[in-house]
A and B are shown apart, each in its own frame.
Chain A
Amino acid sequence: MPVKRADKTPMPVREANLRAHDFEEVNEGYCFAHAMFEAERCLRCQDPVCIDGCPVRVPIADFMHAVAAGDMPKAAELLRTANPLAAICGRVCPQEAQCEANCHMTKRFGPVAIGHLERYVSDWEMEQPINDEVAKPWRDEKIAIVGSGPSGLVCAGELARMGYTVTVFEALHAPGGVLRYGIPEFRLPNSILDWEIQSLERLGVEFVNNVIIGKTLKLEQLFGEMGYKAIFIGTGAGLPKFMGIPGESLNGVYSANEFLTRINLMQAFDFPRSETPLSVGKRVAVIGSGNTAMDAVRSALRLGAEHAMVVYRRSENEMTARIEEYEHAIEEGVEFHWLTNPIEVLGEDGWVTGLKCLRMELGEPDESGRARPVPIEGSEFIFPVDNVVLSIGTRPNPLLHKATPELKTHSWGGLLVDERQVETTVHRVYAGGDAVTGAATVILAAGAGKRAAEAIHADLSVDREKSATN
């Protein structure tokens, strides 16, 4: 069969019944032969529309040519120039809704596995010998980055490459933001994140943990006594939403943020060697259907839950998780209860014992354009459960703008930015990622960090010229 008519090369994965009991990475990655074959499937379109599906516009066509030619250094260079978090995005991007959705191969044979190849090339890059030399900034201006999640990391990297002195302030004891506390090791190993952060350190970026901007230091101190010329806010959307149903404060109920932070950041899976506890029973219900819900339910499974369930008020079609995570969850034995709306958490002696739900049916589309779930009269029933994990979304954290009233926000908490989508209502304070958009993807945050870096460079260049002529 000609290569161009072959199906998408599947990602080698670890056996479901083995991987469902540990936190090792699920995907094993392509080997060289897989990568060469898959890159050869690319049709070399005159007008490579795949690029239009990429929020950071990776030159995918050129990248494919380089991989197919076996020129990995070039492929890596093309990738990293456009996407500084390629090793991460190759693992967590929803490619099926982005680049791969536009691929001309998609309809007949399945898309070229752009994401898998992105991962392959980044993994190759990580194995290359590194130059230990730390780059020295050559510009006078210092820039502060608030938050070390994807938008902050990318903004820091871009600015360091332009020669600025960059400091990243992180509230927690380890950098990475949601990449550290949110995404589990079986999907994004910490070693990958550490490698990305070490690369930034070699570019001269300084990371300062345990500092909360708005609490430990105020924005005006960063500008004033500390001499920063611009500030980028990438504080994400870390504030968990609760449903407001009775019983949410019972023991055994977690926000997905708390559940995952205990596991990922605090390594509760290694208790008591690591000292942060987590209480996971035999039956765990996770409410929600996004990637975070999949991460939580699959983590519960790995921590010994016999019934790890997703409970969602809409149907499978409205699910927002990446298709790969959903498929992996099914293979691992996660149970899905669609059109099921939790209305109360039941408890005894302060602990969760059950989740009272209503069956739903789909009605007319709602304001989000998705079919509105409508309760079925008299369909109330109870799931016996030991834990309930709420994964129904997050909002931007108000901590910084509460301490900085000049920093204006939308009513829902997102930071207001100018027409360039980068500068906030405070002069030379920029923002991007989930803090501006509300909860979105790693790649959109990365794109925003890059855009902000370019704007900061442009604006500071103007400031520099002005002060030179004065």
Chain B
Amino acid sequence: MVKIVEKRQLTPITKLYRVYAPLIAKAARAGQFVIVRVREGGERIPLTITDYDRDSGLLTIVVQEVGATTRRLGELQQGEEILDMVGPLGEAPDIPSGGHIVGVGGGYGSAALLCLMRELKDRGENTTIIMGAREKDLLILSDELNEICDHVEICTDDGSAGFKGFVTERLQQMIDGGPPGPPDYVIAIGPMAMMRAVEKTTRAAGIANAASLDPLMIDGTGMCGGCRVTVGGETRFACVDGPFFDAHEVDFDEAVSRSKMYVKQEQKAAACQRSAAGAA
């Protein structure tokens, strides 16, 4: 059981939790993730570590409600407990020093970039984050990221804040020499479609690009093989070999297809959850 010390509503469907998980907070490194289970009979789902504080033993996670389990998690309040949490899982990414490092975060992906960008900043890197959302109200943690990164580039689909357009369009402007300058290394975290689009952009420009993959997984220790992704023609497990991979080597078509494996069942589970809520 892991106690929720603080809950913040970032957007109508995105919540930030600070939980007391001293062992995980002590061992965590930027870019790693945890697996949580919310109730008996519930799924195990991976969540990226947004931040950690070794002294207080607090771990920050951000949850976007997309399925039955994340919705259930979103209902938990400050003072309540998360049934199971295990981690830190996966490997921290190995990001080369020097040059202009650009993080591209879509939706909840911006949260996943938070402690990674701070670690890079502490290392003395020149950092920029491009964060995208549909509209202004869906942008998350922009104040926190503003403190950490040298440049914060905001993109919204409707132009309600920052640049009007997709993160990839803003990225292309930078590659073409627009401020704050062309990237030497790009880290993409967000929805699979966004990471794929970022990869296309960086590939055309010949820029190194890491992507953090979050396929379906159960144990997170390499035991089930459900999170397998094809990288450079080889089968790799995102849980133990990842979550970061060279985006140019990732078979995104396959990864997207595998991420949709249980769409039907997820709809059924969601309907079941709604009718249960209705009954209550």
Contact with A along B216-228 (1 / 0, CB 8 A): 0011011111101
Known: A171-B219, A257-B223, A272-B268. A249 touches B228 (CB 8 A): yes
- Contact present for B41 and A270 (CB under 8 Å): yes
- Minimum CB–CB distance from B225 to chain A (whole Å) comes to 4
- Answer yes or no: A261 CB below 8 A from chain B CBs: yes
Contact with B along A258-287 (1 / 0, CB 8 A): 100110011100111111110100000000
Which residues of B have CB within 8 Å of A275? 41-43, 68-69, 269
The residue in A244, A274, A275 that gathers the most chain B C-beta atoms within 10 A of its C-beta is A275
- Contact present for A249 and B223 (CB under 8 Å): no
Known: A216-B27, A249-B258. A271 touches B265 (CB 8 A): yes
- Answer yes or no: B44 CB below 8 A from chain A CBs: yes
The residue in B222, B230, B254 that gathers the most chain A C-beta atoms within 10 A of its C-beta is B222
- Answer yes or no: A93 CB below 8 A from chain B CBs: no
- Contact present for A266 and B88 (CB under 8 Å): no
Docked pose: A275 CA to B269 CA in angstroms: 7
Contact with A along B83-119 (1 / 0, CB 8 A): 1111111000000000000000000000000000000
- Answer yes or no: B194 CB below 8 A from chain A CBs: no
Docked pose: A270 CA to B87 CA in angstroms: 27
- Answer yes or no: A48 CB below 8 A from chain B CBs: no
Which residues of A have CB within 8 Å of B223? 181, 238-240, 257, 261, 397
- Contact present for B272 and A272 (CB under 8 Å): yes
- Contact present for A399 and B240 (CB under 8 Å): yes
- Answer yes or no: B23 CB below 8 A from chain A CBs: yes
Q: Give the interface SS of chain A, mostly helix, strand, loop or mixed.
A: loop
- Contact present for A215 and B27 (CB under 8 Å): yes
- Answer yes or no: A248 CB below 8 A from chain B CBs: yes
Which residues of B have CB within 8 Å of A321? none
- Contact present for B23 and A173 (CB under 8 Å): no
Docked pose: A261 CA to B218 CA in angstroms: 8
Taking a contact as CB atoms closer than 8 A, the residue among A216, A258, A267 that contacts B41 in the complex is A267
Which residues of A have CB within 8 Å of B213? none
- Answer yes or no: A217 CB below 8 A from chain B CBs: yes
- Minimum CB–CB distance from A266 to chain B (whole Å) comes to 7
Contact with A along B67-83 (1 / 0, CB 8 A): 01100000000000001
Docked pose: A265 CA to B87 CA in angstroms: 19
- Answer yes or no: B235 CB below 8 A from chain A CBs: yes
Considering the complex, give the chain A residue whose CB is closest to the CB of B218: A261
Which residues of B have CB within 8 Å of A171? 86, 219, 221
- Minimum CB–CB distance from A168 to chain B (whole Å) comes to 15
Considering the complex, give the chain B residue whose CB is closest to the CB of A274: B41
Which residues of B have CB within 8 Å of A239? 222-223
- Contact present for A277 and B254 (CB under 8 Å): no
- Minimum CB–CB distance from A239 to chain B (whole Å) comes to 5
Considering the complex, give the chain A residue whose CB is closest to the CB of B237: A239
Docked pose: A39 CA to B174 CA in angstroms: 83
- Answer yes or no: A251 CB below 8 A from chain B CBs: yes
Considering the complex, give the chain B residue whose CB is closest to the CB of A265: B218
Known: A261-B224, A272-B269. A211 touches B23 (CB 8 A): yes
14 A-B contact pairs sorted by A residue (CB < 8 Å)? A173-B37, A211-B23, A212-B89, A216-B24, A216-B88, A238-B223, A239-B222, A240-B223, A272-B265, A272-B269, A274-B42, A275-B43, A279-B262, A397-B223
Which A residues form the contact surface with B (CB < 8 A)?
171-173, 181, 209-212, 215-218, 238-240, 242, 244, 248-249, 251-252, 254-255, 257-258, 261-262, 265-267, 270-277, 279, 350, 397-399
Kindly list the 6 A-B residue pairs having the minimum CB-CB distance in the complex, ordered from nearest: A277-B265, A350-B257, A258-B224, A274-B41, A210-B86, A255-B225
